[in-house]
Amino acid sequence: MKQGQWPSIILVLFILSACGIATTRPKLEMALSQAAFLAAREVKSQVLAPGLYRKAEFYYLKAKSSYRRKYFNKAKQYAILSKTFSERAEFVSIRKATLENL
């Protein structure tokens, strides 16, 4: 090998190794999304807030699918959306259940 090739080889190796580090697995977002979704299911959101629950379920399944396919950026976005809709569905369900019991 010529002496001029070493810097280019090192540069290529650095770039390739940096690609693997750039995207991290969204473990926390996935766990929070799952917990919020299960909490929404526990308070019967599928009956009391079906629209919000359906959106939460849709994004939760999309997040799981993206995570399995190693599309971690998309999985993180979907997990955050799922958590948001799950929390809204849970809140609406608890509010409706409370108002019915008054």
Q: Measured between alpha carbons, how far is residue 29 from residues 15, 22, 99 in Å? A: 27, 17, 32
User: Could you read off the pLDDT of 58-90 as tens digits, one per residue?
Assistant: 999 999 999 999 999 999 999 999 999 999 999
User: Could you read off the pLDDT of 14-54 as tens digits, one per residue?
Assistant: 665 555 556 899 999 999 999 999 999 999 999 999 999 99
Angle between helices 50-68 and 72-100 (to 10 degrees): 160
Q: How many residues does the chain have?
A: 102
Domain chopping of the chain, boundaries: 24-100
Rg of the chain's alpha carbons, rounded to an integer? 21
Residue 83 has which token pair?
A: 């958590």
